Structure 1
Amino acid sequence: MRQGQETVDHPVTSKPRLRGSNQSGMRAHNERLVLSLVRREGALAKSDIARMTGLSAQTVSVIMRALEADGLLRRGEPIRGRIGQPSVPMSLAPDGAYFLGLKIGRRSLELTLIDFLGQPVASRRRIYAYPTPDAVVAFTAEALPAVLRELPPDRRQRVGGMGIAMPFQLWNWVQYVGAPQAEMDAWRNRDIQSELSTLAGMPVHVQNDATAACGAELVFGTGERPKDFLYFYFAYFIGGGLVLNGHLFTGRTGNAAGVGPMPVPGRDGQMRRLLNVASMSVLAQAMERAGEDPSTLWVNPDHWDVSERVLSDWLDDAAAGLASATLSASALVEMDTVMIDGWMPTGIRAEIVRRTTAALHRLDLSGIEPPLIRAGTVGAQARALGAAAIPLSQRYLVEAWGATVES
Structure 2
Amino acid sequence: MPLPAVRPPLSSESLRPIPQGRGSTQTDVRAHNERLLLSLIRRHGSLTKAEIARLTSLSSQTISVIIRKLEEEGLLQRGDLQRGRIGQPSTPMALAADGVLSFGLKIGRRSAEMVLMDFVGNVRDVVQLTYTWPLPAAMVDFARKAAAGMMRRLSHRERNRIAGMGIATPLQLWKWRERVGVTAADMDAWHDADLTALLADEFPFPIFQQKDATAACSAEFVFGRGSEFKNFLYIFIGFFVGGGIVLNGALFPGSSGNAGAIGTLPVTRDDQSAAQLIDTASIFGLEADIKAAGLDPSPLWTEPDGWSKFTPFNDAWIATIAPHLARAILAGCSIIDFEAAIIDGDFPADIRARIVQAVSAAMETFDLEGIAPPAIVEGCVGRQARAVGGACLPLFDRYILSSTPFVNEIE
TM-score, length-scaled by structure 1: 0.92
| CA separation of 1:230 and 1:133: change in aligned 2, threshold 3 A | same
Task: Specify the SS of the correspondent of 1:260.
Answer: helix
Contact 2:220 2:226 in 1 (8 A): no
**CA deviation digits over 1:73-121, x for unaligned, max 9?**
0011111234543111000000101000000110111111001111011
Distance 1:395 1:138 in 2: 27
Matched ranges for 1:195-274 at <5 A: 195-222=198-225, 225-274=228-277
Partner of 1:385: 388
- Report if the CA contact (8 A) 1:22-1:55 is conserved: no
Q: Which stretch of the first structure deviates more once superposed, 170-179 or 107-116?
A: 170-179
Match of 2:298 among 295, 302, 308: 295
Q: Displacement, 1:317? A: 1.3
- Once the two structures are superposed, residues 23-61 of structure 1 have per-residue CA deviations (whole angstroms, 9 ceiling, x without a partner) of 444100000000000000111001111110111111111
Matches within 5 A, 1:2-151: 14=11, 17-21=14-18, 23=20, 24-25=26-27, 26-151=29-154
Could you tell me which residue of structure 2 aligns to residue 342 of structure 1? 345
Distance 1:17 1:84, change over 3 A: closer
Q: Which residue of 2 aligns with 1:6?
A: none
- Deviation digits for residues 175-223 of structure 1 (CA, Å, limit 9, x no counterpart): 2222232232111212210110110121100000011001000011158
**Deviation (angstroms), 1:306:** 4.3
Structure 1 residues 364 and 79: alpha-carbon distance in aligned structure 2, compared to 1, 3 A threshold = same
Tell me if 1:155 matches 2:158: yes
Q: What is the DSSP-based 3-state SS (H/G/I as helix, E as strand, rest coil) of the residue aligned with 2:38?
A: helix
Q: Is contact 2:300–2:307 with CA below 8 Å preserved after alignment? A: yes
* Counterpart residue identity of residue 333, structure 2: S
CA RMSD of aligned residues (A): 1.8
- Deviation string 1:351-395 (CA, Å, 9 cap, x unpaired) is 100110011110111111111101101011000000000111111
Report the AA paired with residue 354 of structure 1: Q
When normalised by structure 2's length, the TM-score is 0.91
Unaligned runs of 5+ in 2: 1-8, 21-25, 405-411
- 2:194 maps to a residue whose letter is D
Give the number of aligned pairs: 390
Aligned partner of 1:315 in structure 2 is: 318
- The match for 2:174 among 171, 175, 180 is 171
SS at match of 1:131: coil
Work out the percentage of aligned pairs sharing the same amino acid: 47
Give 3-state SS (helix, strand or coil) of 2:176's partner: helix
For structure 1, the residue ranges without an aligned partner over 5 or more in a row are 1-11, 402-407
What residue number does 1:8 align with?
none
Q: 1: CA distance between counterparts of 2:13 and 2:180?
A: 40
Q: 1:274 to 1:215 in 2, by over 3 A?
A: same
Q: Which runs of 4+ in 1 moved over 6 A?
A: none
Provide, for residues 208-241 of structure 1, a one-character-per-residue CA deviation record: whole Å limited to 9, x for no partner: 0011001000011158621111111111101111
SS at match of 1:185: helix
CA shift digits 1:146-202 (9 cap, x unpaired): 011222122101100000000011122322222232232111212210110110121
Q: Distance in 1 between matches of 2:153 and 2:363?
A: 46
